Amino acid sequence: MAEVVLATALQKQTWSTQVTREYVRESGLLPYMGTEETSIIRIRNELKNEAGDTINFPLVQRVKGRGVRGSEVLKGNETDLGLANTAVTVNWIRQGVKVPKSTSFRTAIDIWALVRPGLRSWSAELLRDDVLLAFNSVVVPGTIDAQGLPGTDATVNYLQSTAGQRNTYLVNNSDRIVFGNARSNIASGVWATALGNVTVASGRSSAAHIRLLKSIAKTAGQTAPAGGSVSGFTTNIRPYRSDMTAGREWFVYFVGSREFGELSQDATIVAANTNARAREGDGMERNPLFQDGDLMYLGVLIREVPEIDNMILVAAGGSSADVAPGFFCGQSAVAVAYGMVPRVVEDRLEDYEFRPGMAIEELRGTKKTSFGGVMYGMVLSMVAVPAQA
């Protein structure tokens, strides 16, 4: 059983009774989480007050078809709305810390005061990591039933997916996956071959790549994917925000630090943020080139999430290029279901109150939204990132 062991420097001393906590960076995802359908990371909480282990997130296909004109009869010529859903199963997630009296009596530091925020930070970081894993997961189509409708899709962690699963995923999502800077790089329908087409010479991220991703997002679903959707269910990727009066649409592109570094040095993006980006006041405080933070380009908010670099496929591209995933998102890209939000509990009764502990627990599930093998709210980008010196 793991227990807290104090380093000598933290034991009670007359010259110090303070401790500096490790800085825990915010996930960077919270602004894009919400219960609204327009949220990129969509949250539902119904199971907090009900029994069950699954929450269904409805997905809606846009209304298609010619309609009728003039005196033509509409009855019998209606179109299906195209309702689908992503089912998310919740499960318990827990972590705890035990602080025996044989440790706590040696220090004047209030260890309990440190444990509670530490557990909450652990929970927040785990949610961030689970969302990123969902972004990068491989969609496995559900089984077709007797009526020809697909069952609930499954998702597989990329590193646990098989070559066959990745190939099927690529074919079913050929209208919303891009390798490098050319849509033709996925023509083979073979994931490994597409990776081999990504090189440092021709597959790096840039302003042109952002324009390509936005074009793909705005046209996805207009035609069936090259391999054909399992269900025939196709949908466009709805912008994160839109102002149709002004003709503006916004998407969010989540990238790792290595790709963000490339984009922050791109001459076109630098010029756009220098010359056209509105800011109040003078000096460095409002200047996007002097301060850390998001980049903006052509209605795309480019957000750096350093942990995405943990997903880089080292030497997997052409000429052994490192290949990094990026997630170009509109509405409802990932679903998060809660049966119980995180809560901290204490256990002071063990071993006659000599070994008290504190834990955090939550009932949660996280999954990429999809139907019929087709991911619903995002474009997956795979680009080459130069090796770090």
> What number is the average pLDDT over the span 36-42?
91
pLDDT, position 280: 58
Average pLDDT taken over every residue of the chain: 82
* Spatial distance between the Cα atoms of 280 and 166, rounded to a whole number of angstroms: 47
CB atoms within 10 A of CB 277: 14
pLDDT, position 232: 53
* Spatial distance between the Cα atoms of 263 and 328, rounded to a whole number of angstroms: 14
Residue 357 φ then ψ, to 5°: -140, 160
Residue 158 has pLDDT above 70, yes or no: yes
pLDDT: which is higher, 367 or 79: 367
Residue 44 has pLDDT above 70, yes or no: yes
Which DSSP letter does residue 328 get?
E
> What number is the average pLDDT over the span 165-172?
96
pLDDT: which is higher, 255 or 248: 255
Residue 230 has pLDDT above 50, yes or no: no
Per the CB < 8 A criterion, the answer to whether 214 and 296 are in contact is no
pLDDT, position 60: 67
Exposed e or buried b for every residue in 71-82, given b needs 16+ CB within 10 A?
eeeeeeeeeeeb
- Both tokens of residue 192? 């490994």
Q: What angle do CA 166, 168, 171 make, to 5 degrees?
A: 110
Q: Pick from 344, 352, 343: which is nearest to 97 by CA?
A: 344
**Top mean-pLDDT range of 17-21, 148-152, 240-244, 324-328:** 324-328
Task: Give the lowest-confidence range in 51-55, 232-236, 333-337, 362-366.
Answer: 232-236
Task: Work out the burial of residue 299: count CB atoms within 10 Å of its CB; fewer than 13 is exposed, 13-18 middle, 19 or more buried.
Answer: middle
How far is the CA of 111 from the CAs of 10, 23, 102, in angstroms?
Answer: 11, 17, 13
* Spatial distance between the Cα atoms of 304 and 256, rounded to a whole number of angstroms: 6
pLDDT, position 69: 82
pLDDT, position 21: 42
How far is the CA of 357 from the CAs of 99, 157, 345, 346, 354, in angstroms?
Answer: 6, 33, 9, 6, 10
pLDDT: which is higher, 111 or 180: 180
Q: Pick from 297, 314, 204, 193: which is nearest to 253 by CA?
A: 297
pLDDT, position 354: 83
